[in-house]
Structure 1
């Protein structure tokens, strides 16, 4: 209690009080005493007040302009967003129209059975039926900072990441084993599909995919599964699992549904006639 009483009775420290008394005795501190000093102080206060007043006035004048520009920018963003949405809608409608025309062209190319087969093999129509579901994923604990180079000629690398060449071998192995239609992560593959790498990302037809990679293949379910596992590409996938920890799971399914390819290029081939052959190929007598 004595300490609290002392603090309340002597709110100003003795050292500060002594310094203040010393400055007062020496004529230092406090307000200016000479007329020149007082005029200088008054001029400084007037200048500071003038600066604050001018700044406030400018801010008040500019506020409506800034608010108007902000509203115009918001309106412009809204209009551009609506225009982009309309363009995207138009693109979707045109893509659907192109797909419908392509399917119609395939139907007109021959008999009904042949047209259905061509549509399935080209990826122009969606398919469903039994098949194989194969899930391929990176090894546990694999970081994004691994080696980004595709696998070398030996077929393997010192990382636990799935590479584009791995998916290429998986897909080719499924085709070779008897698959009639294949998709990766819901994206249908065709004879013109490309599986490539961009850094650590895997692109299918220039669309990036993220693991796990779910590969669906329509065909003879159990027979397709057995044929793939016994193939060289199935053994390759097994070695990846055993040596690098890449996770795989394969199962035969009674019903799979694969979407149609988003864009199918219709191409036709014509035999080269005798008159159309180059002169160099005809030979001379």
Structure 2
């Protein structure tokens, strides 16, 4: 019995007992590593949940402020747009009044017919009559790329976009073909007008236009249409259609209506006061 009692009392070898005592003395015999890892993971999850909760609470608090500021900006844009429209209407009314007074003054001096002709040709008066409707649009697969020039890119990757110089050639071709008045998307063109580009947008007198570009020209409809299509600029437009997919259509119209130009004021040139010598 003494042997069995000794085995039960000393089941671990003395060496194992000493090793366990040293680990406990060094602080390594406490909590198991797996339990430590689980507790660390739980603490991390709790911290992450806390951060997400705080962030969501802050977003919820800030959302009404952002929505309010956005609505205030929208209301301000709407208000300024309405004010600009009202001012534009006032300008149109004043322009019509000035034109009427000019015609009245010229009628008294016997120059009414000549004044009307000058007013029409200068773009100061809205006009209507027979003419042509020319629609120019980007290619169906048009994309922005390269250096912005679909006809001069090094890798010949065509974008099929209508460019400002294309519209310049179209307008000049119509003038040369006999057009008496021209407009693009409702913008009347005069001797002071400029067709320029800003990125991919085309500007007419600094007003951006979007495709399709509808060009109206007053003149002898059939003759004007045939003359333009056979002109160098008309052939240029046809080449854009054939080679780059730019879409065009032209038709003679019995009546087209063009608005007056916003401004025909000459800001630089002055009439000469010198008299000729004989």
Would you say same fold, with TM above 0.5? Answer: yes
Secondary structure of 2:217's counterpart equals strand
Per the TM alignment, residue 81 of structure 1 is displaced from its structure 2 partner at its CA by 6.9
Q: What corresponds to 1:118 in structure 2?
A: 118
Q: What corresponds to 2:42 in structure 1?
A: none
How far apart, in 2, do the equivalents of 1:140 and 1:75 lie? 37
Q: Which moved more, 1:168-177 or 1:77-86?
A: 77-86
Q: Does 1:91 align with 2:92?
A: no
Q: Does 1:201 align with 2:197?
A: no
Summarize the Cα distance change of 1:161–1:74 in structure 2 as closer, same or farther, 3 Å threshold.
closer
Secondary structure of 1:182's counterpart equals strand
Q: What corresponds to 2:186 in structure 1?
A: 186
Per the TM alignment, residue 100 of structure 1 is displaced from its structure 2 partner at its CA by 2.3
How far apart, in 2, do the equivalents of 1:178 and 1:199 lie? 32
Deviations 1:21-56 (A, max 9, x none): xxxxxxx9xxxxxxxxxxxxxxxxxxxxxxxxxxxx
Q: What corresponds to 2:223 in structure 1?
A: 223
Q: What corresponds to 2:271 in structure 1?
A: 270
How far apart, in 1, do the equivalents of 2:246 and 2:79 lie? 45
Deviations 1:157-181 (A, max 9, x none): 9431110000000000001111011
Q: Does 1:127 align with 2:123?
A: no
Q: For structure 2, which runs of at least 5 residues remain unmatched after alignment?
A: 1-30, 32-60
Note if contact 2:150-2:160 (Cα within 8 Å) is conserved in structure 1: no
TM-score (norm 2): 0.63
How far apart, in 1, do the equivalents of 2:71 and 2:250 lie? 53
Deviations 1:225-255 (A, max 9, x none): 1111111111111111111111111111111
Summarize the Cα distance change of 1:242–1:260 in structure 2 as closer, same or farther, 3 Å threshold.
same
Note if contact 1:181-1:189 (Cα within 8 Å) is conserved in structure 2: yes
Q: What corresponds to 1:257 in structure 2?
A: 257
RMSD (Å), alpha carbons: 3.7
TM-score (norm 1): 0.62
How many pairs align? 211
Note if contact 1:147-1:159 (Cα within 8 Å) is conserved in structure 2: no
Deviations 1:119-163 (A, max 9, x none): 2111111111110111111112111345424866xxx99431110
Summarize the Cα distance change of 1:201–1:157 in structure 2 as closer, same or farther, 3 Å threshold.
farther
